Chain A
Amino acid sequence: MTLALSVGLLVGGGVYLMMRRDMLRIALGFTLLSHGVNLMLISAGGTAWRDEPFGTHTDTATVADPLPQAFVLTAIVISFSISVLLFVTAAVGRRNDNTRPEIDEQDGDPARDPASEVKH
């Protein structure tokens, strides 16, 4: 039950942040979302078995399911790499990290002047 509540809280927070306008918050929302789903994966292995699946004398009656742990380990790495990419896209915006689809008007920044860019 605690796990279910935590998953709900994390996913709710993630969804709220994803609905925000700036990219940084969206990326943070995705981080929360993947935390939530990782907890979900862990809970899929059953929560009644709390012993760590280490060593040789593990008792299958009390030891936790190792397969979801391997799943989570993989999923963490994957979501980490994509999060990094998302944060980079938040940082490389021209002036801000707004996610508006319309075209912003030119601001006359010579370093970013498109005409000079095309000619190299």
Chain B
Amino acid sequence: MDTGMSHDTIGAMLALFVAVPLLAAGLLVIFRKVVWLQPVVLFAVLGASLAGALALIAELAGGEVIAHGVGNFAFGVAIPFAADMFTALMLTTTAILALLSAWFAAASGHLREPFFAPMVLVLMTGVYGALLTADAFNFFVFIEVMLLPSYGLYATTIHRRGGDLMLGGMRLYIAANLLASTTLLAGVAMVYATAGTVNLGQLAGAASEDPMVAIAMSIVLLAMLTKAAVVPVHSWLARTYAYTSPAMTALISGLHTKVAVYAIYRFYAVVFDGDTRFLWILVALFTATMLIGVLGAVGEKTTRSILVFHMISQLGYILMGVALFTELGLTAGIFYLVHHMLVKASLFLSTGAVEVKYGTGELDKVTDIARREPLIAVSFFAAALSLAGIPPFSGFVAKFSLMLGTFEAGRYIALAVMVIVSLITLLSMLKIWNGMFWGDPKTPAPDPAAGQDPDGEGATLGGGVALVTRTEETRTEDDTETAPRRRISLWLAAPAAILALLTLAIGLGGEVLLGWAETAAHGLMDTTGYVEAVSNS
């Protein structure tokens, strides 16, 4: 697509990804009493950013890189914003997720929480900024911009129902992320001390030439691995994402850890120049992540804590792409990243819809959903098969190409673990299916307020933290009736279904995304284009 705009113009417009959501968020805070304005502005801005990201994909499909030094200062002085195919793909996927999670939040009543819309917009400002920036310190700042509203969103899920469990989750969430951010900052300080710059254009290849920079940069990578919940430092994720509201989990599942993954890919490709000497460490770490994550999932009892452990396991798969550092490996990793973000969000949204309307996500407490809510069941099943890597869905393409890449690179142990982990993934997905979607039709559906008090009798980890908006109405319902009444409206089920369709579409027509992923991987294998664009910005 030729937009007729020069790359300079588009480069200057990259800052709009950051400026527009931030401005809109400020406006929504000012006009917080105007209730109708909140969803209108939220969806308009999220939709516009999705359109912008799609246009960027079309513009960069040939492998070009667009960069712009903010404020038109000289190279090395200005903070550069840069976009290549990888950035554009991530921008698009995060925009889709934000849009659908916000839709789900609107349908589940979460949007009515105070400051929900502005906080989501600031969150997206941080995400877009962190993806676009080509400067390590500015990356840290955008990570914080992304995290602070997340803490706020986490807090809005607590304020009505209290609960030490959720508060504990929030404390852990802030503490783990603050520790990782501080580590990141320390790493950036050391990079500046050893290399004299934090600009990615100037840092290109610095870590493969100078071991001092390599040590400094590995601290940055350590911080990002913590944020991405790779195995030695994964447990914070499993004990925080499950304790907030379903809408919130779905929203952050595709953003925070994935921005960290993006940073690991980018930093390792540019600053380490894909140095093959350190790849074995990464392969070992990510193999352990795949295995331990999925084993944790098998042991859990609520849908969301199972899915959160799966996320850890899948992050191991995604990051394996960068640990292979071959053209095929990176292509597979990037494809896996996009596929996984969509699928995971779909799973969180379908089980989240059940949690919202049935009050708990604990297996065997809420049963027979397949008969009560066919649409949710179909969405969940499609996404679950995709997660396990079954042919008609995108997960198959992702896993198959990643396994090919692993085989090609000669990492046979990692390959074996991948195959085994896929089986265990399927096992625990079937566990959710059996525990929640099948079951005795005579079993009454739980009260929507079931397990609403996380500290009370029969409190469940992960389950029962849903927002109940229609308690009075559903209380009167006769739960022993034989014909089940549908509780999840089409409006609430649609986001999960759309994402499930998307994963099917990517599975059937995988070549389009695979081609884009290949362009993105090419940009990571050979970073001269990126570095040149940043240097000339």
Contact = CB atoms under 8 A, between A and B. Distances in A.
15 contacts: A26-B171, A41-B188, A44-B193, A45-B193, A68-B189, A78-B141, A82-B174, A82-B178, A82-B181, A86-B175, A89-B171, A94-B162, A94-B167, A103-B459, A106-B456
Interface string A29-58: 010011001001101110000000000000
A71 B137 contact: yes
Nearest to A27: B175
B383 interface: no
Interface in B460-481: 471
B502 to A, nearest CB: 35
Contact of A118 (B179, B185, B452): B452
B137 A118 contact: no
Nearest to A44: B193
Interface string B166-191: 01101110110011011001101110
A104 interface: yes
Closest 10 CB pairs of A and B: A114-B453, A44-B193, A41-B189, A44-B192, A44-B189, A40-B189, A114-B456, A78-B144, A37-B186, A89-B171
The binding surface of chain A is classed by DSSP as: helix
Contacts of A41: 185, 188-189, 192
A112 B454 CA distance: 13
A37 B192 CA distance: 13
A37 B186 CA distance: 6
B155 to A, nearest CB: 8
Most buried by B among A26, A30, A82, A106: A82
Contacts, number: 108
Contacts of A101: 165, 168, 239
B126 to A, nearest CB: 12
Given A34-B182, A43-B189, A99-B172, 16 more contacts: A18-B175, A18-B179, A23-B171, A26-B171, A37-B186, A40-B186, A78-B141, A85-B151, A86-B178, A99-B171, A101-B239, A104-B455, A114-B455, A115-B456, A117-B160, A118-B449
Does more than half of chain B's interface fall in helix, strand or loop, or is it mixed? helix
Among B162, B178, B239, residue most surrounded by chain A Cβ atoms (within 10 Å): B178
Contacts of B162: 94, 112, 114, 117
B479 to A, nearest CB: 18
Interface residues of B, number: 39
Interface of A: 18, 23, 26, 30, 33-34, 37, 40-41, 43-45, 67-68, 71, 74-75, 78-79, 81-82, 85-86, 89-90, 92-94, 99-101, 103-104, 106, 112, 114-115, 117-118
The residue among B140, B151, B168, B452 with the most chain A CB atoms within 10 A of its own CB is B168
Contacts of A118: 161, 449, 452-453, 471
Contacts of B449: 118
Contacts of A85: 148, 151, 174
Nearest to A96: B164
A71 B160 CA distance: 38
B164 A94 contact: yes
Contacts of A79: 178, 182
A89 B178 contact: no
A86 B179 CA distance: 12
B137 A117 contact: no
A79 to B, nearest CB: 7
A82 B453 CA distance: 27
Contacts of B164: 93-94, 103-104
B168 to A, nearest CB: 6
B453 A33 contact: no
Contact of B192 (A68, A78, A82): A68
Contact of B148 (A30, A37, A82): A82
B455 A106 contact: yes
A102 to B, nearest CB: 9
Given A71-B137, A93-B164, A81 B190 contact: no
B98 to A, nearest CB: 23
Contacts of B239: 101
B189 A30 contact: no
Nearest to A23: B171
A29 B416 CA distance: 43
A55 B65 CA distance: 39
Contacts of B459: 103
A5 B140 CA distance: 25
A1 to B, nearest CB: 14
Contacts of A104: 164, 455
A6 B181 CA distance: 20
A104 B174 CA distance: 22
B182 A37 contact: yes
Contacts of B181: 78, 82
A30 B175 CA distance: 8
Contacts of A106: 455-456
A38 to B, nearest CB: 8
